[in-house]
Amino acid sequence: MSTLFLTACSDWQSALHAHGDNARKIFDLIWTFGAVAATTWLLTVLVLAMALFRSRPPEARSPLQIDPDQERRLNCAVGSATALTVVVLIALTTGSFFAGKSIASMSGSETVTVRVTGHQWWWEIRYPKIGSLQAIVTANELHVPVGESVKVKLDSLDVIHSFWVPSLAGKRDLIPGRPSELTLIADKPGVYRGQCAEFCGYQHAHMAITVVAESREAFDAWRSRQDANAVTPSGDEERRGQAAFLGTGCALCHAIRGTPASGTVGPDLTHVAGRRSLAADALAMTPGALAAWVADPQSVKPGAKMPRIALSADDLNAVITYLGSLE
């Protein structure tokens, strides 16, 4: 039965597909523990079956008539099984301890630092000022250079969330008032999905984060693209969209660098069209999905903090076109 499910499993957000040091060490540990557990269980069930179905002398006896020889043998068996349990547990505890230590030793050599803040129900991501590049804010999509240690600083301003990208590392909680951090390494280029792992309210199910691991050059290129302010609207439709964006409620919550919009309640939209997904990966980034989301967020993510803004059909289309231009 288990093979049925294993073959059905995808590379999608799985602890069984480790692509980073941290996750791989845990993966090995899971297999070791799993193998020991499976063996122990098989042995137990086997002995249980033997105990049940072994052949017995036919004579009936009083329940209190105990064979002292057999009692001694059973004593010996229980004693040995207990001793074996102790040895195995010590071995497993030691193995777990050293795996934990080696994971902890990964920190200290980071080349990139990024701050991730959990919100109900999206991830705010901040890259600090580095060299000539200014500090930037983005959301739900974390870019990292392949093969380099990345320090992820975690905190939360509302409730407890948990940062978990299973292919790369174990999880770490984001607790209000208790900043923490995690070290990530992705050892192969790719897109790794993660998801909030601590129940955080209505849309806990739709609070995903995407980690994009790319070569150093591609990462640097992405970083400098993000450094730029938002593109100025080029056509009439975009200009109308920007005006609508600034004129209605949108700008109260969202920021678009280079425009007066500077809200901090929702995700920064300066380069929103450059991201792969929308609304913490509730939707793929397509014009249709963007329109559906802006038109009625509550039907996509019931309970989400983004209200429905009353826009005329034309304004809505213009806003979608404008946002779609913000690469």
Partner 1 sequence: MSSIRQKNADRIEELKGVRDTGLDEARLVAFLAHAWQTPKGLYGWLATVDHKVIGRRYVVTAFLFLILAGLSALVMRFQLAAPEAGRISPDFYDQLFTMHGTTMMFLFAVPVMEAFAVYLVPLMIGTRNVAFPRLNAFSYWIYVSGGIMIWIAFAFNTGADAGWFSYVPLAGQFYGIGKRPDFWAQMVTYTEVSALAVAVEIIATVLKQRAPGMTLDRIPLYVWSVLITAFVILFAMPAVMVSSTMLILDRLVGTKFFDQAAGGDALLWQHLFWFFGHPEVYIIFIPATGFVSAILPTFVRRPVFGYLGIVLSLIAIGFLSFGLWVHHMFATGLPQLGESFFTASSMMIAIPSGIQVFCWIATIWGGRPIFATPLLFVLGFIFTFVIGGLTGVMVASVPIDLQVHDTYFVVAHFHYVLVGGAVFPLLGAVYYWFPKATGRMLSERLGHLNFWFVFLGFNLTFFPMHILGLQGMPRRVYTYPLESGWGSANLFISLSSLVLFVGFALFFLNMLLSFRNGLPAGDNPWGASTLEWATTSPPPSYNFPRLPVVTHREPLWAEPDTLAVIEGLRVDAREVLGGMVADAVPQLRLPSADNSIWPLLSATAVGGTFFASIYTPWAVVWGAIPISIGFICWFWPKGEPEDEE
Interface with partner 1 in residues 258-287 (CB under 8 A)? 281
- Asked if residue 35 binds partner 1 (CB under 8 A), the reply is no
- Asked if residue 107 binds partner 1 (CB under 8 A), the reply is no
The residue (of 67 and 327) whose beta carbon lies closer to partner 1 is: 67
* Integer angstrom CA distances of residue 14 from 29, 53, 79, 276: 15, 42, 40, 20
Task: Kindly identify the residues of this chain, within the stretch 68-97, that bind partner 1 according to CB under 8 A.
Answer: 70-71, 74-75, 77-78, 81-82, 85-86, 89, 92-93, 96-97
- Asked if residue 166 binds partner 1 (CB under 8 A), the reply is yes
Bridge partner list, 145: 214
- Asked if residue 23 binds partner 1 (CB under 8 A), the reply is yes
- Asked if residue 110 binds partner 1 (CB under 8 A), the reply is no
Half-sphere exposure of 33 (CA within 13 A, CB side): 15
**Least distance CB 162 / partner 1 (angstroms):** 6
Piece of the chain touching partner 1 by CB under 8 A; list 9-17, 228-236, 247-255, 257-265: 9-17
- Asked if residue 1 binds partner 1 (CB under 8 A), the reply is yes
Q: 130: Cβ–Cβ under 8 A, 6 or more apart, which residues?
A: none
Q: Of all helices (H) and strands (E), which one includes residue 277?
A: strand 277-278
| DSSP H helices in the chain | 2-8, 21-53, 68-104, 216-227, 236-247, 250-253, 287-295, 297-300, 313-325
The residue (of 177 and 260) whose beta carbon lies closer to partner 1 is: 177
The owner of tokens 């806003």 is 319
Per-residue binder mask for partner 1 (CB under 8 A), 128-157, x = binder: ------------------------------
Q: Three-class SS of residue 292? A: helix
Cis? peptide before 121, omega within 30° of 0: yes
Q: Which of 72, 128, 202, 252 binds partner 1 (CB under 8 A)?
A: 202
